[in-house]
Amino acid sequence: MMYSLLVVDNEPIIVESILDMFARTDALDLEVYGAYSSTEALKLLTTTKIDVVLTDIRMPGMSGIELHREIIKHWPWCKVIFLSGYNDFDFIQEVMRNGGVDYLLKTEGNQAIIRAVQKAVQALSDAIEVENLINKSKKQMQMIQPYLQKELLWGLVQGEPHALQTMHDQFREMNIPLSSAKPTIVVIGRIDQWSETASSVDKSLLLFAVQNIAEEYFSQSTNLVSFDFAQKTKLVWLIQTKEASDSAIDSSSTEIRGRMVAFVKGAVEMIQHTCKQLIKLNVSFAVGTTYRDWNHVSEQFEHLQLLMSRGLGLGHELLLLEQQAADMDPHAIDRELRKQMNKLNLLQSLLDNGQKEQFFYEYGSIMKAVAMTAPQSNPVKMEVYFTLISIFLSYMNRWGVQEEIGKQTNLGKMTMLDCQASWEEVVDYFYALANRLFDQKMSVQGFQQNDVIRQVQQYVKQNLAGDLSLNRIGDVVGHNPSYLSRLYKQIASEGLSDYIMAARLSKAKELLWENKLKIHEISKVVGFLSEQSFYRFFRKAVELTPQEYRERAIMSTNATEK
């Protein structure tokens, strides 16, 4: 990260010499500003983020200490280093009371100033690791923990690989009272009908009430966690036994399975009745009748979802049981597909975000699951096919690339499933289309980035004597200064400050060669505060003074004319 330094002193020669010193210092990556009064400094502070201020204490009008009080109003984290020509103990005490980073005498020399600025920058870097910020983060984590728990649990019932791989540690970190080693029963609940006047807060309170009722019935014998989904219309309960031995629950044991399933079913019946009596809420349930390890919880969840959807229109307060034999489930062949189909919306976000590698990984998983289903006329295949059409058409319409992509791809073929000779051809068609969309996105992104670089360079060349701060250039091209600095270096393979110096040097050489302006005039044209700073810069870059370079240019011109 690039930090910004502001030097404030009512003596211009001090400001210019310090700015010149930091311009020649490689130890720090700083953007430096100068101000010749507290008033000028405050004007800059209202528009520009400043991280470190190096200021004189005794200045006409507003003193450095008064300036510090104003600084922290604009940029509370800003570190202030006070400079003085007076070894005054009273001033030092006042500085420390106001939280100054350091106090230096002007006679201590340049190295002391550099060390003090380095110390201030290091303090800024370390600030994000201080203990009170960590404690604050922990408190914030506690506040959002229910949302993180819900995100993890939703991933588990969806069969997401990352959720399954990390569940052991995350259960512990998020205080979820379940074991990653024990099998689980899934129960789905549905609020049959919300009151038309029920607000979002009302719904949340009633869902909490249902949860509290469930815990009353389940807490003695089981561990239970729950969350809502489908816009607060459905609930998921994940239930495990409290028995210490994992082997005590064996899904192949009829006696144990029957006893625990009977308990769950009986508890759900009581919960359903209590919800109606106490909180006037009709709730339907679909109950899992087998324990599943976590890798197969998503199958049970999907099956219960299908049971619940079949029960629509049969009235309120349904109590449905999972079919126990796999051969009784006509939808068993589609379970893996249904799990993969839940990722279709993910494809759209991956396409939008330009995440090509992950897109094709998820796309391949979905289409592989589809290929294992019935023949091409299978309705599920049609659902996947036309969902993909919706995703791609939506993307092309939003980004206005339909005409351009249409030049490379027969988009008319996309809307006619019968035109595809096989499902493999369907897979290849959408794969090729996605590839072209990603290539087009990268091409546009590259053009936009190069256009930003062009705008920056054009502005620098036209404003060498003006404001070339990162903040100003960022405003011109519409980017955050820190981001712009990183982007420029990534695209142009050099730092923006290096380009500015190179542009100043090139212009200075051009003007010296033309021999129309005096050297002190050239120094102003190319953006130097003083002729002395220009001389030092030029000699370091060319190993000649500006005058020596001009004389050689004149000799070269004369020799050419002869």
Phi, psi of 171 (to 5 degrees): -55, -45
In this predicted structure, what is the pLDDT of residue 167?
94
Is residue 454 situated within a structural domain? no
pLDDT score for 246: 47
Whether residues 423 and 352 share a domain: the answer is: yes
pLDDT band at 421 (very low <50, low <70, confident <90, very high): low
- Do 203 and 275 belong to one domain? yes
Cβ atoms within 10 Å, residue 213? 20
Q: What is the pLDDT of residue 313?
A: 44
- Beta bridge partners of residue 53, listed in sequence order: 6, 80
| 140 domain residue, yes or no | no
Q: How confident is the model at residue 475 (pLDDT cuts 50, 70, 90)?
A: confident
Contact between 284 and 189 under an 8 Å Cβ cutoff? The reply is yes
Q: Mapping DSSP to helix (H, G, I), strand (E, B) and coil, where does residue 355 land?
A: coil
The reported pLDDT for the residue numbered 279 is 92
Rounded to whole angstroms, the Cα distance separating 163 from 150 reads 11
Strand bridging mode 234-241 / 185-191: antiparallel
Residue 452 lies in a domain: no
Residues 124 and 174 in one domain: no
Helix residue spans in 372-422 (DSSP H): 379-399, 402-406, 411-414
Residue 560's pLDDT is 67
Pair 158, 238: CB distance under 8 Å: no
Which residues contact residue 192 at a Cβ distance below 8 angstroms, ignoring those fewer than 6 apart?
A: 282, 283, 284, 316, 317
Residues 325 and 408 in one domain: no
Domain count, the chain: 4
The answer to whether residue 536 is domain-embedded is yes
What's residue 180's pLDDT? 93
In this predicted structure, the answer to whether residue 326 has a pLDDT above a threshold of 60 is no
Most confident stretch, 271-285, 420-434, 492-506: 271-285
Q: Residue 505 belongs to a domain with what CATH number?
A: 1.10.10.60
Both structure tokens of 64: 């450095």
pLDDT in tens, 481-535: 778 888 888 888 888 888 888 999 999 999 988 888 898 899 889 888 778 778 8
Residue 449 forms part of a structural domain: no
- Does pTM surpass 0.85? no
CB 87 within 8 A of CB 108: no
Q: Which residue in this structure is represented by tokens 């561990």?
A: 223
Per-residue confidence (pLDDT) for residue 287, from 0 to 100: 92
CATH classification of the domain holding 25: 3.40.50.2300
Domain boundary among 282, 305, 330: 330
Question: Does residue 47 register a pLDDT over 90?
Answer: no
Apex CA 245: angle with CA 239 and CA 250, to 5°? Answer: 65
> What span, in angstroms and rounded, lies between the C-alpha atoms of 114 and 32?
13
Mean pLDDT within 269-275: 92
Q: Report the pLDDT value the prediction gives residue 399, as an integer from 0 to 100.
A: 78
pLDDT for 434 beyond 50: yes
Distance CA 350, CA 345 (A): 9
Identify the pLDDT of residue 179.
Answer: 93
Which residues on neighbouring strands pair with residue 229, listed in sequence order? 234
| CATH at residue 274 | 3.30.70.270
Is 455 domain-assigned?
no
Considering the domain architecture, whether residues 95 and 175 belong to the same structural domain is answered as no
For residues 280 and 316, give the distance between their C-alpha atoms in angstroms, rounded to a whole number: 13
What is the C-alpha to C-alpha distance for residues 495 and 268, in angstroms, rounded to an integer?
66
Does residue 12 contact residue 528 with C-beta atoms inside 8 Å?
A: no
Q: Are residues 407 and 527 in the same domain?
A: no
**Mean pLDDT, residues 88-100:** 58
Higher-scoring residue by pLDDT: 510, 345: 510
Confidence grade of residue 330 (pLDDT, cut at 50, 70, 90): very low
pLDDT at 249 > cutoff 50: no
CB atoms within 10 A of CB 361: 11
Q: Is residue 268 part of a domain?
A: yes
Instruction: Answer whether residue 10 shows pLDDT above 80.
Output: yes
Question: What was the pLDDT predicted at 333?
Answer: 47
Stretch 376-390: mean pLDDT, rounded? Answer: 78
Q: Which of these, 136, 22, 130, 4, lies nearest to 485 by C-alpha position?
A: 4
Statement to judge: residues 320 and 195 lie in one domain? yes
Assigned token pair, 284: 């339907």
Residues 247 and 197 in one domain: yes
pLDDT at 268: 93
Q: Which residue has the tokens 């960590």?
A: 134
Q: Is the pLDDT of residue 552 over 70?
A: yes
List the domain range (segments joined by +) for residue 488.
Answer: 463-561
CA 200 to chain centre: 28
pLDDT value at position 168?
93
Separation between Cα atoms, residue 491 and residue 508, nearest integer Å = 26
What is the pLDDT at residue 239? 94
190 and 292 inside one domain: yes
pLDDT recorded at residue 416 = 64
> Are 357 and 314 in a shared domain?
no
Residue 79 — φ and ψ, nearest 5°?
-95, 135
**pLDDT over 70 at 332, yes or no:** no
As to burial, measured by CB atoms within 10 angstroms (0-12 exposed, 13-18 middle, 19+ buried), residue 399 is: middle
**So what's the pLDDT on residue 178?**
94
Are 185 and 41 in the same domain?
no
* Last residue within a domain, chosen from 298, 330, 362: 330
Lowest mean pLDDT among 332-341, 429-438, 517-526: 332-341
Residue 224 confidence (pLDDT) above 90: yes
How far apart CA 258 and CA 289 sit, in angstroms, is 8
Does 280 reside within a domain?
yes
CA separation for the pair 327, 109 (Å, rounded): 87
- Whether residues 468 and 493 share a domain: the answer is yes
Across all residues in the chain, what is the average pLDDT? 81
Q: Would you say 417 and 385 are in contact if contact means Cβ atoms under 8 Å apart?
A: yes
Q: Domain boundary at 314, 330, 346, which?
A: 330
Which of the pair, 431 or 247, is modelled with greater confidence? 431
Single-letter amino acid code for the residue at 124 = L
Which residue, 370, 382, 364, 371, is CA-closest to 418?
Answer: 382
Q: What is the 3-state secondary structure (H, E, C) of 225-289?
A: EEEEECCCCEEEEEEEECCCCHHHCCCCCHHHHHHHHHHHHHHHHHHHHHHHHHCCCCEEEEECC
Instruction: List all residues 6 or more positions away from 465 whose beta carbon is below 8 Å from its beta carbon.
Output: 524, 525, 526, 527
Where are the extended beta strands (E) located within 458-531?
Answer: none
pLDDT of amino acid 16 = 83
Distance CA 510, CA 522 (A): 10
